[in-house]
Amino acid sequence: MKKIFKRDIIIILIIMLIYSVISFINLGSFTNPQTFWHVENPGEYIVLKLNEAEIRKIRHYTGPRFGTYKLYISDDGEKYTYLKDLKQTTVFAWEDLNVNGKFEYLKIVGQTRDSYLGDIALYNKNDEQVQLYAIDQDANFIIDEQNFIPEEISFMNSTYFDEIYHPRTAYEYVHELDIYECVHPPLGKLLMAIPISILGMCPFAYRLMGNIAGILMIPTIYFLAKNIFKSKKYAIVAALIMACDNFHFAHTRLATIDSFLVLFIMLSFLFMYKYIILTDKDNIRTRLKMLFLSGLFIGCAIATKWTGCFSAIGLAVIFFVKLIKTNFIEQFGFSKNGINIRFKEKKWSKESTVIILSCIVFFVLIPIIIYLLCYIPDKNVKKLEDIWDLQINMYKYHSELEAEHPFSSKWYTWFTMEKPVWYYSNILEEGMRSTISGIGNVVIWWTGIVGMIYIVIKGIKKLDCDCWFIMVAILTGIIPHLTIDRIMFMYHYFPVLPFMMLSIVMLIKDIENKIKFKKIYLIYLFIILVIFVYYYPVVSGMPVSEEYIESTKLLTSWYY
């Protein structure tokens, strides 16, 4: 097993520090309203008073449930006339409603049961915010945090894409509300709930844990590569490839559960690799420790998203191949006469029995316990039958889902990034636009195709165990999607991405060894760094010109 030295720690900390600084820039606002007017029954209303002004716009913030409100205006607080409907369309986001009226009193009447309205701001014809006063007690809930009203609505202060689901559920866990989104297991959302419970429900809080997971993927792939390639140099290459991938950057800054899923899968494969390279000289305690950690993290992956089960199949394949080889096969290879196998005389050991029994605990019992424990914070789960019912509903949702989406894509298009998912867009003034696309670093993804083909060829021709290890991780992340009929997206490729990166490192390493030119990795790293910087604006939401955005579109199918 490759040892970890102080210089490994220093190197990876430097890479993590640089990446962290970049990833935390404009991650999200630290402030948003935390109190809401909760409409429990239709017909409930509140009244606001303002100095008479000609109002042209109302900016309003939505809580964990959205609904519709009727707006009435008055000059004396007695006779009201209907102005307009205020319709909330998402959760934990700011929206603008254009109005045209001159009035002194505003009555807001809730129309939807169990809806939440946060702070609102009224703007006059000069785009100046108007002072508001609460006539009744409940009206204070929507004007008590006026200092949080943003000057501009953007991803910095509002949810976007699937953030309308997972952070919302995390908030519901914190505040013991009914859980809205239960089509995925709870662990990822529980992790999001930690900073929300400390910092409040703000974009920085609900994106924090996913971004940290993205940062932690970098040392994970470093140590995985260090073990596979037995080289600090190629471990650094692997870490920098991940740090320079635009998709990894964009998707881990988005508050979804995929970041946790991928990190847990990577960790489970890391410790499984550490297990398979152990020899008979290593004591059984060390072997069991590696298997325990692998089982622990794959359990966490499955408790985050069911697709973790795909990777669990890959771990099982690797484990049983190692077990069979250890106990039954002395030599395996190819010869002119075909496959050459020599079996061991002693075909089983007591240690193998201990390992098998331990793995039942590590890879079956512990993941089940983790999975069940994650449902404790759900106040509606009282018994095991409730959890079982949730699993049935979860299965029905995914198996019976019939939906269309403009950015859905088939699995075989993910390798070339034929259709990246467009997460966010905001048109600014003077031909400027802010956009966030789930697009990867084109050099990494496209050379990754070559890398994956290479490890298949090398794995078959030379029976290279490392190639087979990477190949199994890739195939178990891809093959199950061949049988799935529901719509899928390019981000479903995310669990495969780290192992595709390792195939690139394998390719670079072997090319350098073959042609005796040891600087190919520097050329490759320079190119992917340039690409990362060039595509940074379209994955970070940085305001740039429309012409700049168009210049990044290498394929006609890229739309963002």
Residue-wise pLDDT tens digits, 51-71: 878 999 999 999 999 999 999
On the question of pLDDT at 413 being above 80, the answer is: yes
Determine the pLDDT at residue 328: 75
Please give the backbone phi and psi of residue 36, each rounded to the nearest 5 degrees, phi first: -140, 150
On the question of pLDDT at 338 being above 60, the answer is: no
Reading the block at residue 438, the tokens are 């789930």
Say whether both 200 and 311 belong to one domain: yes
Whether 516 maps to a domain, the answer reads yes
Sign of CA dihedral 24, 29, 31, 32: negative
Which residue type is seen at 115?
S
Say whether both 21 and 43 belong to one domain: no
Non-local (6+) Cβ contacts of 219 within 8 A are 12, 16, 239
Say whether both 66 and 206 belong to one domain: no
| Arithmetic mean of pLDDT, 495-524 | 95
- The number of CA neighbours under 13 Å toward the Cβ of 315 is 33
Q: Do the Cβ atoms of 105 and 135 come closer than 8 Å? A: yes
Non-local (6+) Cβ contacts of 439 within 8 A are 246, 247, 250, 417, 420, 535, 538, 539, 552, 558, 560
Say whether both 386 and 480 belong to one domain: yes
Residue-wise pLDDT tens digits, 421-475: 999 999 998 889 999 999 999 999 999 999 999 999 999 988 899 999 999 999 9
Whether 173 maps to a domain, the answer reads no
User: Residue 77 maps to which CATH number?
Assistant: 2.60.120.260
Say whether both 337 and 418 belong to one domain: yes
Whether 262 maps to a domain, the answer reads yes
Whether 153 maps to a domain, the answer reads no
Say whether both 62 and 17 belong to one domain: no
Q: Do the Cβ atoms of 189 and 170 come closer than 8 Å? A: yes
CA distance 510 to 228: 13
Whether 175 maps to a domain, the answer reads no
Q: Do the Cβ atoms of 314 and 473 come closer than 8 Å? A: yes
Non-local (6+) Cβ contacts of 512 within 8 A are 518, 520, 521
- Domains identified in the chain, total number: 2
Among 120, 148, 176, which residue terminates a domain?
Answer: 148
Please give the backbone phi and psi of residue 121, each rounded to the nearest 5 degrees, phi first: -135, 140
Q: Do the Cβ atoms of 300 and 290 come closer than 8 Å? A: no
Determine the pLDDT at residue 349: 79
245 vs 403, which has greater pLDDT?
245
Reading the block at residue 352, the tokens are 């193998």
On the question of pLDDT at 537 being above 90, the answer is: yes
What's the whole-model pTM score? 0.93
Which residue type is seen at 422?
W
On the question of pLDDT at 335 being above 60, the answer is: no
Residue-wise pLDDT tens digits, 381-398: 999 999 999 999 999 999
Say whether both 201 and 96 belong to one domain: no
CA distance 532 to 552: 11
CA distance 487 to 508: 35
Q: Which of 167, 39, 55 is nearest to 109 (CA)?
A: 39
Determine the pLDDT at residue 344: 75
Say whether both 216 and 309 belong to one domain: yes
Among 148, 179, 214, which residue terminates a domain?
Answer: 148
CA distance 90 to 63: 9
Per-residue pLDDT band at 505 (split at 50, 70, 90): very high
CA angle 28, 32, 36 (to 5 degrees): 145
Reading the block at residue 363, the tokens are 């890879």
Say whether both 48 and 13 belong to one domain: no
CA distance 490 to 475: 16
Per-residue pLDDT band at 8 (split at 50, 70, 90): confident
Say whether both 340 and 370 belong to one domain: yes
Residue-wise pLDDT tens digits, 117-142: 999 999 999 899 999 999 999 999 99
Say whether both 13 and 103 belong to one domain: no
Whether 556 maps to a domain, the answer reads no
Say whether both 127 and 224 belong to one domain: no
Whether 560 maps to a domain, the answer reads no
Whether 168 maps to a domain, the answer reads no
- The domain of 43 spans 38-148
Reading the block at residue 271, the tokens are 């410790």
Q: Label residue 361 left, alpha or beta by phi (over 0 means left) and psi (-120 to 50 means alpha).
A: alpha
DSSP character string of 293-305: HHHHHHHHHHTT-
